[in-house]
Amino acid sequence: MKVGIDFGTTRVVAAAVDRGNYPLVNFETPDGHVRDWFPPLIGVRGETRVYGWDAWLAQGQPGWTIVRSLKRCLKDAGPRTGIEIGGHTFEVRQLLQEMMAALRLQLREHSTLTLPLPDDGNKPLEIMLGVPANANSNQRFLTTEAAREAGFEVLGLLNEPSAAAVEFAHRDLVNRKGRSGGRLLVYDLGGGTFDASLIELGDGEHSIVASDGISTLGGDDFDEILAELALEAAGISSRERDSLSAAEWFILLDECRERKEALSPNTRKLTVDLERVRHNWREVSVSANVFYDRCRPLIESTRRVVDELLAAHPERPIDSLYVTGGGSELPPVARVLRESYGRRVRRSAYMRSATAIGLAIRADTQSGFVLRDRFMRNFGLWREADEGHGIVFDLVFPRGTELPGPKQPPLRSVRSYRPAHNVGHFRYLECARLAQDGRPVGEITDWDDIRFPFDPGLQDRADLAAVLVRRTPATAGFVVEETYTCDSSGNLAVAISNKSTGYEKRFRLGRWSEKQPKILSSRAAKRGA
């Protein structure tokens, strides 16, 4: 069984591959309801952890801390990054793996997914996973590994707006009876991230032209704005706000999310029941226009991303701007976009599920759809230049490089040189943009350093970080080769070898330090970050 899984910030949506159809998977909740989504929630009480619907039921219960939006933490996380929740520290990787395991159990035992016969019950679920278009390699690695460790067979990763484009193209091709083509911009505003992708549509084969986005903007931010407005309307003091527990913050944000999702273009006011948060508080009303005005600067920031993306690729105007993602359901989003793009704006009929459906189509080898995705960030490393008097950035894989397909060999890039030092100190990074002189600018993600012994006498040293890097003529006769690879999911690796001695080491590239910062404090946990 193949499934497309949109592992969203606030909701997980799954679509199945079923003989050319791609139905959404419904989940049975413990209280007897049926939902077409799974909550990516974590409930913590001491060392006890529960996930999904169990965490949902634990909200508001004494002693439980409920955390939502774990996906937002992945942007700055490495495999050993710790999250502090309720006075205890847990590794991001462990929490993500356990949540994936809870999702897998829910799919197998409490969903409408049609699974193999009992004697085939241990056959892995094959999944295509979505990730934000601007996700760095750490986020891609953590997502893939967590799913594999949870028992899924990961077919690959696909950028979320690219998946939405596949859904659009598949439906549009059917509606137009075989005629395809055009240029599409996917505007994907989800619960925690915003992505925009410019895509060329062809006859069954589509190509990503470019992507951009904001990794810290989504529907969660609208929830927080409404929560602040409700507290202001109720006259809640700063002191009282600071006294809110993690459980109370979760309930407040959940109440605001429900009110936000019930909005329609005709809504004049939102009623927020603060009594759900504390019994001595009251129900308050917030003007819809005031709420929209407070949200507008965030929406404008997404429009600027779209404008800049289109300005950078003026070869041909877009035919459609396809709006998808749960955060895009906020009425002023379409209003702001129509101010610039008019009738080209097309809202998806599947705002919250287009990505999952597109992932399922991508997973289906019989669908006939081919997507040529691209490297969304510049990847490279710092190198010494001018005999150590300067530093330059060596670009290994430029942003926009086309990624290989799921069954194609990985991209390769090779560097060969004669070393000048006893130890090679490699400092890698990803960046959104490069200046005209090749320097990284914009959003930059620094990775951990790795070290390689050019001096054969250091090959058995366990801690090369303690060795002073110095220039030495003893290594000048060696030939060193670096071979970089990038697979279809954007995962990076390097093999560094001394061709003269035959010594080689392989590294999976990312942020691997054991001394990772705690990226969620107890204060942040109160807001369910």
> How distant is the alpha carbon of residue 273 from its chain centre?
32
Nearest by Cα to 426 from 482, 474, 467 = 482
Q: pLDDT category, 169, cuts 50, 70, 90? A: confident
Q: What is the pLDDT of residue 211?
A: 84
Q: What is the pLDDT of residue 432?
A: 74
DSSP three-state, residue 241: helix
Q: pLDDT category, 389, cuts 50, 70, 90? A: low
Mean pLDDT of the chain: 86
| Token code pair at residue 220 | 């969660």
pLDDT digits (tens, 9 = 90+) for 283-292: 999 999 999 9
Going by the DSSP 8-state scheme, the letter that residue 120 receives in this structure is: G
Q: What is the pLDDT of residue 519?
A: 47
Q: pLDDT category, 376, cuts 50, 70, 90? A: confident
In this structure, is the dihedral angle defined by the CA atoms of residues 233, 234, 235 and 238, taken in order, positive or negative? Answer: negative
Contact by Cβ (8 Å): 432, 134: yes
Strands in 345-347's sheet, in edge-to-edge order, are: 345-347, 320-324, 182-189, 194-201, 205-214, 370-372
CA distance 512 to 375: 21
Q: Facing residues of 14 across strands? A: 5
Residues of the chain with pLDDT > 70, as a percent, come to 90
| Token code pair at residue 49 | 């952890």
Q: What is the pLDDT of residue 224?
A: 95
Q: pLDDT category, 180, cuts 50, 70, 90? A: low
CA distance 218 to 326: 9
CA distance 317 to 480: 47
Q: Facing residues of 7 across strands? A: 12
CA distance 501 to 273: 71
Contact by Cβ (8 Å): 447, 456: no
Q: What is the pLDDT of residue 119?
A: 43
- 43 against 156, higher pLDDT: 43
CA distance 50 to 86: 14
Contact by Cβ (8 Å): 78, 94: no
CA distance 246 to 223: 16
Beta strands in 176-226 (DSSP E): 182-189, 194-201, 205-214
> How distant is the alpha carbon of residue 172 from its chain centre?
26
Exposed/middle/buried for residue 179 (C-beta within 10 Å: 0-12, 13-18, 19+): exposed
Contact by Cβ (8 Å): 320, 185: yes
Contact by Cβ (8 Å): 134, 161: no
CA distance 226 to 218: 13
150 φ/ψ angles, rounded to the nearest 5 degrees = -80, -5
Q: What is the pLDDT of residue 116?
A: 60
pLDDT digits (tens, 9 = 90+) for 23-71: 999 999 988 889 999 999 999 998 899 999 999 988 878 888 888 888 8
Q: What is the pLDDT of residue 524?
A: 42
Q: What is the pLDDT of residue 400?
A: 81
